[in-house]
Each structure stands twice: as C-alpha cells, then as structure tokens.
Amino acid sequence: MATPQATPEPLLRFCDSLRELKLASGTPSLGDLSRRMPGRPSVSTLSQLLAGKIRRAPRWELVRDLVDACREHAQANGITLPHDLSSSETWRRRHGDLVRALDSAAAQRSPDNLARVLRLAPDNRLLHLGDLTDSDLGVSEPIPGAGAGYIARADFDEEMRSMLSLGGPPYPYVIAYGEEGAGKTRSAVAALRNEFPSETTVLIPRGGAAVSELRSLVDSLNQSGRPAVVWLDDLTAADLEHLTLDLLEWLSGWAVTVGTIPALRCGEILGGTRSEARAVAQAALRRACLVYLPLELNDAERAEAAWHFEGGAVPQNFARAADAPEPREMLLRLNTARSTNPIGFALVHAAINCHRAGLVRGVTRDELRRLLPPHLTLLSTSPATDAEIEWGLSWAQAPAVGGRALLQPLGLTDGEARWKAAQELVGEADSGPVPDSLWLEVIGMATPQECLMIGHQAANRDVPGYPAVAFTKASEHEEHRLDALLGLGLAQTMLGSFAAAKASYQRVVESGETAKEARAAYMLGGVLEAEGDTAGAEDAWRMAAETGHEHYAPMAQAMLALMLIDLGDYTEAESLFLTVADSGHGDAAPRAWALLGTLREQLGDLKGALTSWERAAKWNHPDVMPMLEDSVAELRTRMAELAAVQSSGPGENAEVLLERGERLRKLGHETEALAAFRDAAASENPDERARALFGVAMTLMGAKRTAEACETLEAVAECGVPRWEAEALLELGSTLYEKEDWNGARRAWSRVVETSVTGEVERASVNLGLLELRVGHHDAAAAAFRRAAEAHDPNIRAQAAMNLALLGIDEGMADDAVDAWYRIAIETEDPEFMPQAAFALGGRLVARGHTAEPKRLFEKAIESGDPDSEAHGTLLLGMLQEASGDVENAAAAYSRVIACGHANHSVHAHARLGRLCVDNGRMDAARYHLQRAVDAGHPDHSPHAGFLLGLVHCVNGEFDKAELVFQQVIETGNPDAARPAAYRLVYLRRGGGRTEEARHVWESLIEQGREPNVD
C-alpha cells in the first residue's frame, strides 16, 4: 500500500483562498452552500476541499459553483466581496495556475521514469492537449492538392464525440477503425479537441508495453481533477496484447482511453488464431467502443470536400459510401472486406439498401446484377466480370459469424433463386442515407404493390422526388390506389406542387371510403390554407369533421377552431375545442384543452382558462406540458393580483382609481377597468380626466369596441392637455387608417403635427407620409417625409429617409440624390432600417460597377446583430465576391448562409453555390447543393435550382433523374422555370420515342395557363 503523501503546497494555498472567500461572504454553512450549487455536492466533499484534505486539483466546475454560491450568499446578506475573491475570471486563472503547478511538480519528482514511459513537454512536465499540434498526435500531412482544413464526417463525428463525452468513472475506452487513408487519426483528434479543454492532460505512451507501466507512476500522472486522455494511435497486435482487461478497468477509473487501428489489422486480430497473447488483444478490441470511419464521403461531405481540393478535384477513393452501422461482428466482417473483396462487399450492401429502400422481399440474381454497377461506382471499383460476381456472391453466402452468412439464400420463388441480407445487418443499418442512384432502380424493379412501401420509406427518409415516383407507380395497384394517392398528395405538397397535391387528395375524397376520405379532406384543408384559400380550407376541414372519423375528425375540428379564432368567431371556436377535448383523441384532446385555456384567458375568463389548463395537464402530454408549466403559474399569479385589486375597495381618489383601472385592464377585466377609469374621469383636474378617458379608450379598443373608442379619443383631445391630446389623436389616426378612413386619419394626424409634443409630432409626420403614399399623393407624401427626416428619433428619421429614396427612384431623381437619402438612413444606425438601406444602396452601387463601398455596406448590415440581415448580407457579399471572380470566398460566404438555416436566404445560397460549383467543374458538390435547394420547396429558388439540376443530370447522362427533376419543376407552376423545364422534358421523351408522354407535358402547361410555343 502506498505511503500517504502530504498535500502539495500550491494546493494548500488554493484551499486557503477558498476558505478566505467563505469567511468573507458571511460564513455560510456547508449545507447552505451545497443547496446553492447546481450539482448539490455532499457536505463532506466541500469540507475536504475547504480543509485542504485533497491530493489533486479539484474540478473547475466544483470550484466555479462554490464561488458562485459564496457570492450569492454574500449578495443575499448585503455583503460586498472584494473583486479578487468574487471574480470568476480570477478564480479560473488561479485554477489553471494550480493545475500547471501540480503537473510541473509531478514531472520534477520523477522526470526520468516519466520520460522513459511517456512523451513529455520540453520542461519535463506532462503534456496538455493545447501543447500538441495535430502532427504531434499522429495526423498525417494533407494529401497533395488538399487544403489543411478538417472535412467534417457527420456520422463518425457524432458517434465519436458522444462516446468521448460520456462521464465517469468508469471513463470510456474508444477505438476508431477504418481503411488506410480514411482519416481515422485526423477525425479522432478533431473529436478530442471538440470534447476536451486545452488544459487536459494527454498521456502518449512510448509503445504498448509502456501502458502497463503507468500504474507505477500513478501519483505523477494527473493532478488536474478532470480525466486525463491516454492516446494510443495506430494500435498493433503487440500493443493490444499489453491491454489486459484488468489494466483497462484501472485506466477507466481516471482516464479516457482513445486509440485508432486500421480495419484490415482489426479484422486480422479478431479472426486470428487463439494464442494466449492474441486472446488478450482480441479481448481488448472487443472491450472497446469501436467507431467505424468509412473511406468514402457521403454527399454533404463530398460537397464540402470540393472546396478543400484544388479545382474541386476530390480523389476517387473518396467516393460516397453506402455504409450503415450494423452489429459489431457482422459489421467488422463486412467493413474489413471492402479492400479484399469489393464485389462481395457491394453485393451485400445492394441487398441491405434494397431492404432499407422498402423492397423487403428477396432479390433475384438479375436484380443483384442490376444493382451492382452503381454500388461499384460508389466504391470507385471497375465493373465486375461474371466470374467475379459469382465469387463475390459465394463469399457473401459463406457461413461466417456464428454460422450465419451476410447474404442469405431464400430458395426458389417462381423458379428464381433469391437472397436477403442478414436480418442482423438490416435491423441496424438504418442511419445512413440510401444512395440516390438506387431509388429509381429499386422503383423500376418493384411491382406497383411493392412501390407503396418504397414510397413510404422514401418519404420517411426525407428524399423529396422519389416518394412521388413510387406512389405514382403504386397507384396503378387497385387495392392500394387510395393509400398511394394519399402518399402522393403529401409528397407533392412537400415539393411545392400544390395543384397536383389537391388533385390527388380530391380523387380520394371522391372515392366515398370514409376513413380515406377523412384523411384526404384533412390534408386537402392544409394545402388550401397554405395557398391562402381560407374558404376552401374551411370547407375541406368541415367535410373531414362530418365524417366522424375517430382520428381525423377531431384533428380537422381543431384546425377549424384555430382558423375561426383568426376570423374572430370565438363562440364557435370554443364549441369546437370542447368537442375535440371530449373526443378522447390522444393527441388532439390535450392540445384542445390547452388552446381552449388560452382562448378563455384572452377573453377574460380566467377561471375557465385555469380549469381548461388543469384538464390539459391531466393528459401529461409531452408537447403540452412545457407550455402549461409557465402558463398556469402566470395565470395563478395574475388571479391573485386581480383578487388583491378587487378587495382593495373602489376608492375616491382619482390617482387611486387610475392605478386600479390600469391594473384591471392589464389583468384582462375590461368591465371593472372601464368602471374605474370612468369614475376617475369625473375629476376636475384636466390631466387626470384626460388620462382616465385615454384609459377608457384603450380598454374599449382591447374589447374591439372601436367606434366607442374613437369617440372617447376625441374626448381626450378636447381636454386641452397637449401630451394626452397628441397621444389620443395619434392613436385615433392609426385606428381610422386601419379602417381605411383616409380622410379621418389625415385629419387626426394633421392635428397632432400642430401640437408641440415632439415625439408624437415626429410619428404623425411619418404616418402622414405613409398615408399619402398609400393614396397616391406623392408630393404630399414627400413633404411629410421631409418633416419626419428631421426627427430626433432615429427610427422615424431612417424610415422617412428610406421612403424618400424610394419616391426619388419612382420619380427619376438623380442617383446622387437618391443615394443621399439612403446614406441618411444608414447613418441613423437604426436596427430596423439601417440594414435595408445598406442593402439597397449597396445594390445600386454594384449596378454602377462599384465593389469596395458595397462590400463595406453589406458588412455593416451583417454586423447589425439581426439574424435575417446577417444571412441576407452574407448572401449579397457572396454574390459580390462571385461577380468579382473571388470564387473561394464566395463559396465560403454561401456556406455560412446555408449554416444559418434561414427559410429564404439559405435556400437561395444552396442554389447560388450549386450554380457556382457547376461553373467551376465541381459537379458532385453542384448536385448536392442544387438538390438541397430543390428539396426545400421554395416557390422561387427551388424551381430554378431544379431546372439547373436537370441540366446537370443530362450532361452526366442521368436522363431518368433529369426527367424526374424537370417534371417536379413543371408541377411547381413557376412562371419562369416551368416552361424551359417542359421543353427539356419533351426533348428527352421525344428522344426516347415516347411521343404520347411528350404530348402530356404540353397539356400540363396549358392547364397551368401557359400556352407552349409550338416551334
């Protein structure tokens, strides 16, 4: 047993400082401190820390929480702590100094022993992650023509990082494996840097034997209070023979063990002879969490990689992978065969992907042959001969893992032999995408009946385009026709083809089959609402509700209730919510109770709202409960405040009455608020009377009693108090403007301008400008905007300047004069209008051939802090860079916009980047980005991207894919993209001898109201 060692001096000093902090903060009890700390550490843990009875540095998280708890206790007791004791930054620095001091001391105690076993820093201290370059950790130099950046490997990164992030002890033991050159070390190092702070101790043993010697140096290894990392790159069988299970268990108590190994070597070790030493190595591999890194890149990775290689020439051995995670033993056999038996590897993956695509029956020999070429293309392997195919098939059928083959024969069906991938593989192979090149092949092989399942699988995997193809073929099967049409309608909706979707749903509605009719009507209502056809949506949802279907009728009633709320019909909406709530529908009923509570709260029925929310809570619905947790608590507080106000007595003082009225109005009790305000309006004090009448007007406005509110606002103006006169007339003008009473609004705002209340005068001026612009009085609008352009309020000044610029453009004003107004708007720094003005002025300058100032303007808008402006500005910056020939920076800008996930600009960026990739010969990346733009279903950007994607497919000889994309573009009805897409589709179908199908294309254009040119 080791002799106890004294606490190191740096650690004692650190603990003394913590005790000083506790004393200065008012000597809180350890129990009080623990209760204030998120992790609720035990009292004994805090006691040992403060007494200095520890031998290693405490975790930073524990120190941070303790400092916060002391500071919180001091603030609660009115104690002001010195900065050096209360500053988190100061304590962070102290903790870092402590860790470095302890590591240095440990190294100095046994530098010879440590240096013999581990790599050390030049000053003989243990290495930290931040000390090490990638090459220090074994990362190879980038291959010729490649940049130095890291190409993210989404599936591997997610799995590796989730493994490394597991807490402990026991801490994880993870090994990355894959083909030579796949980037195992680079990707594993990227995961380490993502999950661990730079001050993490990294132990790099000098060979496998050195790992077992770490036990003798345990007191010198890790003083940081956080797990160390033991790094074992490029493991060999000899290295693994030293990693006994006992040693691995000991390491897991204080360190995360991370290694890499080539897949071929991994397979050889696991499949080798069972010598005693080899058994240790095999057990060490089986004990590890093995994370596979495919050699090939998927679509997204290839698109990113294109910008890391000169000219976008990504090496062929980075072809897309169709790999998917499977049970360990079968996965190892399959993945380690990629180099040694690519034909067998591809045949097994073909069968797996068929099943994943929805073709769950066995596949024939001819079908395997049909699917083999695209899989070999993905592996960059040359076409297979008949003999190679038979050899690969023989290997795949050979009993291997537990006597089971990867590809299992099913015997003869209709005189043909069939095979299926092992169920163990299929059951686990569900995370990666099905290769795009496979979908049309599988749909072509399948019967209409089989296509129904394929359509659902394609829809579940979110691959727009292919579900519609599969469901169209499935609709030929009479038994499943209605189900196929329902799936087809949804697929067409996702593609933005609303007219086609409505036609599909309508065919189901007309079938008369209640269950299908209810669902179709419900879905049809959603499409019509998306198109803005409120009346049509209402009719569809009422039709679905009338079917009485147990699932879709309540859902339709709920949607109808929401629509009626928007239309102001609260009575029927409440009735519908009650009907849905009483239906017992597992999803719709709790939502209906919650929505009913919200409606009742808005209508001032607080008790009814509380009852509804309590009924909703009884369902314990995971999507409803988070909303209720806040809403119920806020409602109870509000009801308590209301009770306090109501019990306070009416009062006679006008100020008391005004305060009471305001509180009642905010709490939603309009009747009582009106009474209080009206009582206060009896005051002889003009200011109090004006305030009270204004309160009456605002309460009436909230109750939708607009006519009475307008009369009361006029009464406020007549009180003769300038402030309230201006505010009342401003509000009156806005109300009349909403009612399109232009003359009344003009009179009210003009009276505001005549007052001396600066803020209201400025707002009225800009409002008058907008009104005159609305009615076409441009000269009067310009005069009003010029007054507003001199406002003190930057928002009003910017808005006026923007409108003057737009008026100047309409009237043909000189460029310099228009630009000057935009510059005034920009100079205000107003967060709403400054970015708009910067974009507008930048665009004008670009059109005149300028680049430097537009770049500064776009960058200024990007820095405004508004997410929309950041995305829009970065997109425009990318377009500017693209126009100037700066391809690399343009691509980087578009990528940043894509990462924003903006509903409009990110789709546009995908389309722009796709076109840029086409122009620069990066065709894989072009297909990826254009497909993402198409999949987004944007009404403008998606059809144009689709047309270009179709041309790319044509250039690459992928005519079936081109036809599919062109058809999708036509169905969007986009006026600019549909016609050229139709010409291309007609050309393809005529070229294939399908004249009748070409004629149908023209007919679809005519149905959309666009007569095609016949030349």
pLDDT in tens, 742-754: 999 999 999 999 9
Q: What angle do CA 801, 802, 804 make, to 5 degrees?
A: 65
Candidates 993, 1005, 960, 1001; CA nearest to 465 is 960
Return d(Cα 301, Cα 183) in angstroms, integer. 13
Start-end of H helices in 703-741: 706-717, 722-738
According to DSSP, the β-strands at 407-413 and 416-421 are antiparallel
Count Cβ atoms below 10 Å from residue 442 Cβ, excluding itself.
Answer: 28
Q: Which residues pair with 176 in a beta bridge?
A: 260, 291
pLDDT tens-digit map of 909-961: 999 999 999 888 888 888 889 998 988 888 899 999 999 999 998 888 888 88
pLDDT on residue 714: 92
- pLDDT, residue 326, reads 40
| 866 touches 835 (CB < 8 A) | yes
Question: For residues 709 and 716, what is the distance between their CA atoms, to the nearest angstrom?
Answer: 11
CB half-sphere exposure, 413, CA atoms < 13 A: 10
Q: How confident is the model at residue 713 (pLDDT cuts 50, 70, 90)?
A: very high
What does the pLDDT read at residue 259? 95
Residue 459 has pLDDT above 50, yes or no: yes
pLDDT at 335 over 60: yes
Name residue, tokens 């500053």.
87
pLDDT of amino acid 278 = 72
Report helix, strand or coil for 71.
helix
Q: Which amino acid is at 452?
A: L
Tell how far CA 878 is from the center of its chain.
Answer: 22
- What mean pLDDT, rounded, does the chain reach? 83
Q: Rounded to a whole number, what is the largest CA-CA distance in the chain?
A: 107
Q: What is the mean pLDDT of residues 506-527?
A: 88
| pLDDT band at 319; cut points 50, 70, 90 | very low
The count of other CB atoms within 10 Å of the CB of residue 623 is: 10
SS3 589: helix
* pLDDT of 535 above 80: yes
Tens-place pLDDT, residues 839-866:
999 999 999 999 899 999 999 999 988 8
Q: How confident is the model at residue 59 (pLDDT cuts 50, 70, 90)?
A: confident
pLDDT at residue 3, rounded to an integer: 33
Taking only the tens place, the pLDDT of each residue in 868-902 is 999 999 999 999 999 888 888 999 999 999 988 88
CA 870 to chain CA mean position, Å? 17
Lowest mean pLDDT among 36-45, 262-271, 569-578: 36-45
Determine contact, residues 831/866, Cβ cutoff 8 Å: yes
pLDDT digits (tens, 9 = 90+) for 655-706: 888 887 887 777 667 787 888 888 888 888 899 899 899 999 998 888 788 9
Residue 928, CA distances (Å) to 300, 373, 441 in order = 7, 21, 20
Most confident of 103-112, 218-227, 456-465: 456-465
C-alpha–C-alpha distance, residues 465 and 458, integer Å: 9
pLDDT digit string, tens, across residues 395-445: 888 877 666 788 888 777 777 888 888 877 775 544 567 887 788 888 988
The string of pLDDT tens digits covering residues 948-966 is 999 998 888 888 888 888 8
Closest to 892 measured CA to CA, from 916, 868, 928? 916
* pLDDT value for 404: 74
Q: If we measure between CA atoms, which residue out of 563, 498, 495, 554 comes closest to residue 528?
A: 498
Q: Does residue 672 contact residue 646 with C-beta atoms inside 8 Å? A: yes
DSSP string covering 215-251: GGGHHHH--SSS-EEEEE-S--HHHHTT--HHHHHHH
**Which pLDDT value is given to residue 115?**
73
Q: For strand 255-262 and strand 173-178, is the pairing parallel, antiparallel, or unpaired?
A: parallel
For residue 346, the 8-state DSSP code is: H
Q: Helix (H, G, I), strand (E, B), or coil: what is residue 879? A: helix
The predicted structure's pLDDT at residue 657: 82
User: Percent of the chain scored above 90 by pLDDT?
Assistant: 26
pLDDT band at 650 (very low <50, low <70, confident <90, very high): low
Phi and psi at 464, nearest 5°, equal -55, 145
Q: Which tokens is 573 given?
A: 């909406």
- Give the C-alpha separation, 113 to 220, whole Å: 10
With a cut of 70, say whether residue 220 has pLDDT above it: no
**Is residue 17 very low, low, confident or very high in pLDDT (cuts 50, 70, 90)?**
confident
Query: Any alpha helices (H) in 863-940, and if so which ranges?
Result: 867-883, 887-900, 905-919, 923-935
d(CA 521, CA 584) in angstroms, rounded, equals 21
* C-alpha dist (Å) from residue 518 to 50, 511, 514, 524, 562: 69, 11, 6, 10, 19
Displacement of CA 640 from its chain's centroid (Å): 40
Would you state the pLDDT for residue 190?
93
Nearest 5°: the CA angle 180, 182, 188 is 110
What is the C-alpha separation between 301 and 925, in angstroms, rounded?
9
Give residue-wise pLDDT tens across range 153-167. Answer: 888 888 899 889 888
Residue with tokens 């470095």: 100
d(CA 585, CA 944): 42
Contacts of 591 (CB under 8 A, 6+ apart): 558, 616, 621, 623, 624
317 or 509: whose pLDDT is higher? 509
Residue 38 has pLDDT above 80, yes or no: no
Across 149-163, 261-275, 896-910, least confident range: 261-275
- Name the amino acid, one letter, at 186: R
Which pLDDT does position 805 carry in this prediction? 94
Name which residue leads in pLDDT, 150 or 190. Answer: 190
pTM comes to: 0.57
d(CA 413, CA 420): 13
pLDDT at residue 462 above 60?
yes
**Candidate ranges 11-25, 449-463, 871-885; pick with highest mean pLDDT:** 871-885
Residue 1000 CB coordination number (10 Å): 12
Mean pLDDT of 347-360: 86
Opening angle at CA 917, ends 913 and 919, nearest 5: 115
